[in-house]
């Protein structure tokens, strides 16, 4: 009898233990961390997330122990499911087709009236031609519908364009709309997943979703989006840890991360088609221009084509870009972002922020500029070679939305790092937003005219500096350096346009149709015409403002050991030829670079000239007397250093 009673007590105790486990375990999530993503094992959709080239079947089931009486409810529009949502009763079938379809499921588990688990979510990409996605990123964003489209607080409201020819409103009306508002009150919590075109999930975390851009990008819908990372949006991750742009190929030991990314609709270069006859958008200018900027040695943003889905529906074809800030610069330079400070906006705003305005700004009394008395200070604090390279580039490509806008200045304030040229604490530029280059719109003023004919208090740095003869010579020769380079050869630029267009065109056609694609291709042809005519325009500006009209061909033979510095170019065991002007002496310098050789002299047009013994970094200036029959040939003469 006692034994029976003891068994009853044990049985009752076991029942209560099981009951407690039953009530507690449904709330428990079996979570593990794989490749920086938290994987929830307490629920299954029956098929891993990713890319599929066939129809798929999803079987929703809970893995919670003792799941008797559990019911699953789901949504496919990104909204939060509840007991009024679709109840799961049988496997769900989704069909693949050409182009790209996205399936986004959210599911919850209820036991009676009580929420027992979730929400759980999964994303699947379907395409019968998966090879077409290989170079793309696929972005899926889920956010509360009211926070997006509600007339009172929706950040995407109103979802309309303001670029039609019959629009009679002004900027005041545009800036009064929800989509033009800024600040934390206009950031919405969201979940972002980013897949490589191969189907590999690389980002899965919370973010702060807002509208990106101030002028061109907010004039038409779908708007550009900004996705900010931070612990306030995701308790486990405050940044995007992924090398979106192949930076690791350059620095394989570095980890790359960003605190915000932009999904850009191409801004002023958006294809407006019949809506605006005066705007011939290609949606290619920015990505081509950024490639060119990097090729000539400037720090520049990078972009990748991305298909964006919002709450399971296609939103827009965009370029994913890392926003220009300290973390982006860190990824480019290898410097710690904690020690990088930057300012963007316009030229005057940037230099004023860094307390450098007084060193150059005296407009309109340019002749009284303090640059003459402060030149050494300016050169000590600013990378002058980079500055002229930056200004030359922007002028050559004709970026009309600059320098009063899209201007960023930065510097590093930490300790110098051996072997890192960016750690010297000097001010440098970062290139972004080139959507107005190569004569996009007639109402934009060519930067040459803006700088040299219509300067104002916001864009007078260059014309102030050019009062100094040495700076004037440096700028002219830097422009000619770039025009002589492969980057600015017309054939090379046209090839880049074709490459980027080949990536973009199929998806533009998929979204907008063949007729719109034909119209955009007409705009691409116009862009190519502008490229083919730009060199002549730049040379005309050089003649007008700098009297460049005495051209000659400079040929520089390679240094077998060490390096040659020709104006803004660095030549390592390679020959070079380019056209320059006799009125602006070209500076050539030999740099030992640890090769163990010294410069004995220069051979100019076959005639050797000696240099002072021991002066390894001697500079040679090509003057008018060296030019023979329109040509100058220069070759360094080296001797091995004595042990």
Q: Would 17 be classed as within a structural domain?
A: no
Question: Which of 131, 165, 197 is where one domain is finished?
Answer: 131
Dihedral class, residue 527 (left if φ above 0, else alpha if ψ from -120 to 50, else beta): alpha
For residue 608, tell me if it sits in a domain: yes
Domain count, the chain: 3
Looking at the structure, do residues 479 and 355 belong to the same domain, yes or no? yes
Asked if pLDDT for residue 560 goes beyond 80, the answer is yes
What average pLDDT score do residues 518-527 get? 95
**Residue ranges of the alpha helices (H) in 187-275?**
none
Both 510 and 389 in one domain: the answer is: yes
Counting other chains too, the contacts that 449-458 makes at CB distance below 8 Å and 24 or more residues apart are 450/400, 451/395, 451/403, 452/541, 452/545, 455/363, 456/363, 457/348, 457/361, 457/363, 457/364, 458/346, 458/347, 458/348, 458/403, 458/404
Preceding peptide of 158 cis, ω within 30°: yes
Write down the pLDDT at residue 213. 84
pLDDT at 33: 32
Q: Please state the φ and ψ torsions of residue 306, each to the nearest 5 degrees.
A: -140, 145
Local structure of residue 431 (DSSP, 8 states)? B
- Residue 207: C-alpha distances to residues 89, 124, 196, 229, 607 (Å): 33, 20, 19, 5, 66
**Given a cut of 90, is residue 30 above it in pLDDT?**
no
Give the closest residue to 209 by CA, choosing from 307, 311, 124, 342: 311
In the chain, the percentage of residues whose pLDDT exceeds 70 is 87
Range scoring the smallest mean pLDDT among 46-60, 121-135, 531-545, 583-597:
583-597
Q: Which two tokens stand for residue 568?
A: 């803004």
Q: Which pLDDT belongs to residue 88?
A: 96
Contacts of 42 (CB under 8 A, 6+ apart): 28, 29, 30, 31, 62, 63, 64, 117, 120
Residues 501-515: tens digit of each pLDDT: 999 999 999 999 999
Q: Which of 120-134, 204-218, 473-487 has the highest mean pLDDT?
A: 473-487
Phi-psi region of 606 (alpha: psi -120 to 50; beta: other; left: phi over 0): left
Residues 545 and 598 in one domain: no
- Residue 23: band (very low, low, confident or very high) from pLDDT cuts 50, 70, 90: very low
Q: What is the pLDDT of residue 17?
A: 37
SS (H, E, C) 158-195: CCCCCCCCCCCCCHHHHHCCHHHCCCHHHCEEEEEEEE
Q: Please report the pLDDT score of residue 9 as a whole number.
A: 39
Q: Which strand (E) or helix (H) includes residue 248? A: none
Is a pLDDT exceeding 80 seen at residue 526? yes
Of 165, 174, 371, which Cα lies nearest the Cα of 273? 165
Band (pLDDT 50/70/90 cuts) for residue 529 is very high
User: CB pairs under 8 A, 24+ apart, for 411-419?
Assistant: 411/340, 411/341, 411/342, 411/354, 412/333, 412/335, 412/339, 412/340, 413/339, 413/340, 413/341, 414/335, 414/336, 414/338, 414/339, 417/334, 417/335
Is 167 among the domain residues? Answer: no
Please check whether residues 538 and 596 belong to one and the same domain. Answer: no
Nearest CA-CA partner of 123 in 310, 261, 304: 310
Closest CA to 236 of 185, 184, 191, 196: 191
Indicate whether 572 and 431 sit together in one domain.
Answer: no
CA dist., res. 118 & res. 128, Å (int): 32
361-377, pLDDT tens digit by residue?
666 666 666 777 778 88
For residue 111, being part of any structural domain is answered with yes
153 occurs within a structural domain: no
Distance, in Å, from the CA atom of 622 to the CA atom of 586, rounded to the nearest integer, reads 5
In a domain, 97, yes or no: yes
- Give the model confidence (pLDDT) of 148-185 as tens digits: 999 999 999 999 887 765 556 677 888 889 999 999 99
53 vs 457, residue with greater confidence? 53
pLDDT (mean) for 15-37: 37
Residues in the chain: 643
Please tell me the predicted confidence (pLDDT) of residue 541.
Answer: 98
Higher confidence at residue 58 or residue 361? 58
Residue in 590, 631, 583, 585 with CA at minimum distance from that of residue 611: 590
Averaged pLDDT score across all residues of the chain: 87
What pairing do the DSSP bridges indicate for beta strands 137-143 and 303-310?
parallel
Q: Flag whether pLDDT at 603 surpasses 80.
A: yes
In this model, does residue 456 exceed pLDDT 90?
Answer: no
Give whole-number Cα distances, 69 to 83, 113, 239, 503, in Å: 14, 11, 40, 51
519 and 558 both lie in a single domain: no
155: left (phi over 0), alpha (psi -120 to 50) or beta: alpha
Establish if 148 belongs to a structural domain: no
Residue with tokens 């803004």: 568
* pLDDT of the residue at 64: 66
State whether 37 and 81 are in the same domain. yes
Does the residue 497 lie in any domain?
Answer: yes
In the chain, the percentage of residues whose pLDDT exceeds 90 is: 63
Residue 448 scores a pLDDT above 50: yes
Q: What is the mean pLDDT of residues 233-237?
A: 94
Pairs from 81-85 (Cβ < 8 Å, separation ≥ 24): 81/106, 81/107, 81/108, 81/118, 81/119, 82/108, 83/110, 83/113
Average pLDDT over residues 96-109: 92
Domain's final residue, options 497, 515, 549: 549
Helix-strand-coil percent breakdown of the chain, rounded to 5? Answer: 30, 30, 40
CB atoms within 10 A of CB 259: 17
- The whole-number average pLDDT for the span 458-485 is 93
Q: Looking at residues 598-614, what average pLDDT do you find?
A: 79
Q: What are phi and psi of 623, to 5 degrees?
A: -110, 180
Residue 39 pLDDT greater than 60, yes or no = no
pLDDT of 616 above 70: no
Kindly indicate the confidence band of residue 29, based on its pLDDT and cuts at 50, 70 and 90: very low
Question: Is a pLDDT exceeding 90 seen at residue 389?
Answer: yes
Model pLDDT for residues 566-577, shown as the tens digit of each residue: 999 999 889 999
Kindly report which listed range (74-78, 185-189, 283-287, 534-538) carries the lowest average pLDDT score: 74-78
pLDDT given at position 160: 87
Q: Are residues 342 and 480 in the same domain?
A: yes
- DSSP letter at 54 equals S
Tell me which H or E stretch contains 357: none
Please indicate, yes or no, whether residues 385 and 517 belong to a single structural domain of this protein.
yes
Instruction: Report the DSSP beta bridge partners of residue 571.
Output: 564
Q: Which range of residues forms the domain containing residue 564?
A: 552-640
Q: Name the CA radius of gyration of the chain, rounded.
A: 31
Query: 353 and 448: one domain?
Result: yes
Of 284-293, 521-530, 558-567, least confident by mean pLDDT is: 558-567
Residues 565 and 459 in one domain: no
| Residue 303 CA from chain centroid, whole number | 5
In whole angstroms, give the CA distance from residue 581 to residue 477. Answer: 8
At 591 the pLDDT is: 87
Looking at residue 364, its pLDDT comes to 64
pLDDT tens digits for range 288-333 = 999 999 999 999 999 999 999 999 999 999 999 988 999 899 988 9
CATH number of the domain where residue 122 is located: 2.60.40
Residues 426, 460 share a domain: yes
Residue at a domain's end among 69, 104, 131: 131
């Amino acid at each position: 009898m006692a034994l029976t009673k003891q068994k009853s007590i044990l049985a009752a105790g076991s029942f209560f233990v099981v009951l407690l486990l039953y009530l507690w375990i449904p709330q428990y999530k079996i979570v593990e961390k794989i490749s920086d993503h938290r994987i929830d094992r307490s629920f299954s959709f029956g098929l891993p997330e990713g890319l599929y080239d066939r129809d798929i079947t999803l079987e929703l089931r809970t893995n919670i122990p003792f799941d008797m009486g559990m019911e699953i409810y789901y949504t496919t529009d990104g909204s939060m499911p509840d007991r009024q949502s679709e109840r799961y009763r049988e496997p769900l079938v989704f069909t693949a087709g050409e182009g790209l379809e996205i399936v986004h499921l959210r599911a919850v588990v209820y036991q009676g009236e009580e929420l027992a688990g979730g929400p759980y979510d999964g994303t699947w990409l379907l395409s019968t031609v998966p090879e077409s996605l290989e170079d793309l990123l696929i972005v899926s964003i889920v956010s509360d519908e009211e926070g997006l489209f509600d007339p009172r607080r929706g950040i995407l409201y109103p979802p309309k364009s303001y670029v039609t020819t019959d629009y009679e409103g002004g900027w005041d009306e545009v800036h009064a709309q929800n989509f033009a508002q800024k600040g934390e009150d206009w950031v919405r919590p969201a979940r972002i997943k980013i897949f490589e075109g191969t189907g590999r999930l690389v980002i899965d975390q919370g973010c702060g979703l807002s509208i990106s851009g101030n002028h061109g990008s907010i004039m038409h819908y779908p708007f550009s989006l900004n996705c900010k990372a931070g612990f306030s949006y995701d308790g486990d991750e405050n940044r995007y840890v992924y090398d979106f742009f192949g930076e690791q190929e350059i620095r394989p030991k570095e980890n790359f991360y960003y605190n915000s990314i932009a999904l850009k609709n191409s801004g002023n270069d958006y294809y407006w088609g019949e809506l605006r006859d005066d705007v011939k958008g290609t949606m290619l200018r920015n990505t081509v221009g950024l490639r060119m900027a990097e090729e000539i040695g400037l720090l520049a943003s990078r972009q990748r084509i991305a298909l964006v889905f919002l709450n399971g529906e296609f939103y827009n074809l965009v370029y994913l870009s890392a926003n220009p800030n300290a973390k982006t610069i860190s990824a480019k330079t290898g410097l710690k972002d904690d020690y990088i400070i930057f300012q963007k906006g316009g030229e005057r705003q940037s230099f004023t922020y860094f307390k450098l305005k007084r060193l150059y700004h005296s407009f309109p009394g340019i002749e009284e500029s303090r640059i003459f008395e402060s030149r050494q200070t300016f050169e000590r604090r600013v990378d002058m070679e980079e500055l002229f390279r930056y200004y030359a580039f922007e002028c050559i490509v004709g970026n009309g939305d600059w320098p009063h806008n899209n201007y960023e200045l930065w510097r590093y304030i930490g300790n110098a790092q051996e072997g890192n040229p960016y750690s010297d604490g000097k001010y440098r530029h970062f290139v972004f937003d080139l959507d107005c280059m190569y004569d996009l719109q007639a109402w934009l003023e060519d930067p040459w005219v803006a700088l040299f004919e219509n300067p104002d208090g916001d864009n007078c740095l260059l014309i102030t500096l050019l009062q100094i003869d040495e700076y004037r010579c440096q700028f002219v020769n830097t422009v000619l350096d770039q025009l002589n380079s492969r980057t600015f050869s017309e054939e090379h630029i046209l090839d880049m346009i074709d490459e980027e267009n080949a990536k973009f065109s199929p998806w533009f056609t998929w979204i907008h149709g063949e007729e719109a694609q034909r119209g955009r291709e007409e705009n691409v042809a116009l862009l190519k015409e502008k490229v083919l005519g730009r060199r002549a325009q730049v040379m005309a500006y050089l003649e007008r403002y700098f009297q460049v009209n005495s051209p000659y061909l400079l040929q520089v033979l390679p240094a077998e050991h060490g390096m040659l510095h020709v104006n803004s170019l660095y030549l390592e065991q390679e020959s070079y030829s380019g056209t320059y002007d006799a009125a602006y002496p070209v500076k050539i310098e030999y740099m030992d670079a640890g090769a163990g050789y010294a410069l004995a002299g220069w051979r100019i047009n076959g005639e050797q000239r000696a240099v002072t013994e021991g002066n390894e970094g001697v500079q040679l200036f090509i003057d008018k007397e060296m030019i023979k029959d329109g040509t100058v040939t220069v070759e360094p003469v080296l001797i091995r250093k004595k042990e």
